[in-house]
Amino acid sequence: MRKWNGWGDEANSFPATQQAQDFLLEKLGQAQPLRDASLEEVIARVPPSRLEPHPGIQTGAEIRVRHARGQSLPDWLAMRSGEIGVFPDGVAEPTTRAEVRELLHYAREHDVIVIPYGGGTSVVGHINPLSGGRPVLTLSLARMNQLLSLDPISQLAVFGAGTPGPEVEKQLRPHGYMLGHFPQSYELSTVGGWVASRSSGQQSMRYGRIEQLFAGGHVETLTGSLELPTLPASAAGPDLREVVMGSEGRFGIIADVALRVRPLPEREEFHVAFCPDWETAVACVRTMAQSDLGLSMLRLSNAEETQTHLILAGHARAVRWLERYLALRGIRQGKCMITLGLTGDDDQIKQARVAALKVLGRFSGVSTGSLLGRRWAANRFRSPYLRESFWQLGYAIDTLETAVDWVKVPATVERIESALRQALQDEGEQVLVFTHLSHLYAQGSSIYTTYAFRCADTYAQTLKRWQKLKALASEALVAQGATISHQHGVGLDHAPYLAAEKGAEGMACLQALSRHFDAREQLNPGKLLPAISKNNLK
């Protein structure tokens, strides 16, 4: 069963090894876990629903708790403390486009706010109901989770928008196809959520971001239905698919999604290599990204992340052997780990491997083969469970991400990391910070930073610590001219920084679109764009 107050399935875990615990102790100091509220305590706090009865809307307390928050750190703190504050007044789980239309009609009639909900894996406050005068309906797409059609000639598959990652691949596989969209939240995030928040999968180098995979679909809006035809390309004016991508539930409900799929590859390998230092490693992966090597994935961990990963792996003896071997090859302190994905048939894999090794050699890099790569692949969707293990020890962990042109990558990493490291200095608190580049383009790269800190004595003080960290890091991004998000979207937490990227004209244009689709601000108000009418929200 899905956890109500954290990541993933209750049956899964990723325990912190003794070595990992010692590492956290050394870096951050002894910590004291905060007390978790129970589900029963939270259920007892749910107020009566304000919704007019509707046969398709459930108003029970538990389902409202389970749809009240996403997966950001403030969401986590709210769920763990039980101080959730605002709950949706009801949850609907339609099964067809017609039912979605009917629920939107109901919302219009009764002046109800509607929050589209995919997998609820948002890490920026996308799906949280906000306080205000009007009742809130969370519209979950969870039951629209099937492959609706497959056109093998055009390699297009249409899915219900609520289909989660594993179901997408499971339903395509018997037909010999795959999508290849693997965000780390793959276990729970959905096709509609990917489109609405412009997500990016771990192997975007081969399969593309959701922008490249999203071929068209069907959207139900408060003003009518919007059909997005699956044209391979079109010069007929601005592309409306771009309006829907990143709309974060503000313009309508994405009911079904046509995706560009591919035949299953013969096989896949992941290899791990090391470069002697960060500067050389960045030059190495940039050269690879700009050389069309045919890799399916390329990621580079900085020295701190490399060290942390090797410690968290929990195989101290094997790591000692690895380090001895690398030292013999001239790679010591400050080494940076590169993970490469190779996908295709034997010839394609061989060609890409040989080409990548050639570049690696030019930058004094050393390949360690596929053993560590296999380990990475086995854990690729497990690491989010570490948040729970850290939490039980009294540490909070969060991530942030951005993208910039290559020319700005080193300075941006430096600014983000130093902003985070200094953020809690006034309290004498250390912050553990490490970074990787995970989506590499010819023009630039995404930057993904993880940070961990000690929980304070209370939930409120812990939230304040996070707010300081987030604000300083976000300001550093803006100062660098970096995007406020490469893949997580805007939601609530990034909304104050959106104008820095879009400019006044751009913001006015987005507001005009929102007014067109939703003049009375009923669709997920306050997310992406500030609410126009203040009495809608607090």
Binding positions for ligand FAD, rule: CB under 6 A: 7, 70-71, 115-123, 126-127, 141, 161, 183-185, 189-190, 192-194, 196-197, 199-200, 248-249, 253-254, 384, 487-489, 524, 527
Nearer to ligand FAD, 192 or 365 (CB): 192
Nearer to ligand FAD, 194 or 466 (CB): 194
| Type of residue at 345 | D
Nearer to ligand FAD, 115 or 366 (CB): 115
Q: How far apart are CA 264 and CA 304, in angstroms?
A: 36
What tokens appear for 263 in the block?
């035949």
DSSP 46: P
Nearer to ligand FAD, 251 or 459 (CB): 251
Q: How far apart are CA 315 and CA 372, in angstroms?
A: 11
For 450, phi and psi rounded to 5 degrees? -110, 140
What tokens appear for 65 in the block?
């708790």
Strand-pair category, 297-301 with 432-437: antiparallel
Nearer to ligand FAD, 96 or 422 (CB): 96
CB 197 within 8 A of CB 488: yes
CA distances from 281 to 28, 149, 187, 276 (A): 28, 44, 31, 7
Q: Please, what is the minimum distance in Å from the beta carbon of residue 116 to ligand FAD? A: 4
Q: Please, what is the minimum distance in Å from the beta carbon of residue 121 to ligand FAD? A: 3
Q: How far apart are CA 447 and CA 485, in angstroms?
A: 10
Q: Please, what is the minimum distance in Å from the beta carbon of residue 227 to ligand FAD? A: 15
Nearer to ligand FAD, 243 or 349 (CB): 243
Q: What SS3 state is found at 322?
A: helix
Q: What SS3 state is found at 142?
A: coil
Q: Please, what is the minimum distance in Å from the beta carbon of residue 248 to ligand FAD? A: 4
Q: What SS3 state is found at 531?
A: coil
Nearer to ligand FAD, 190 or 363 (CB): 190
For 262, phi and psi rounded to 5 degrees? -135, 155
Q: Please, what is the minimum distance in Å from the beta carbon of residue 152 to ligand FAD? A: 25
Q: Please, what is the minimum distance in Å from the beta carbon of residue 214 to ligand FAD? A: 12
Nearer to ligand FAD, 184 or 514 (CB): 184
Q: How far apart are CA 281 and CA 506, in angstroms?
A: 36
CA distances from 414 to 191, 248, 356, 464, 495 (A): 34, 30, 27, 24, 24
Q: Please, what is the minimum distance in Å from the beta carbon of residue 242 to ligand FAD? A: 15
Judged on CB neighbours under 10 Å (0-12, 13-18, 19+), 18 is exposed
Beta strands in 39-123 (DSSP E): 57-58, 90-92, 113-117
Q: Please, what is the minimum distance in Å from the beta carbon of residue 142 to ligand FAD? A: 10
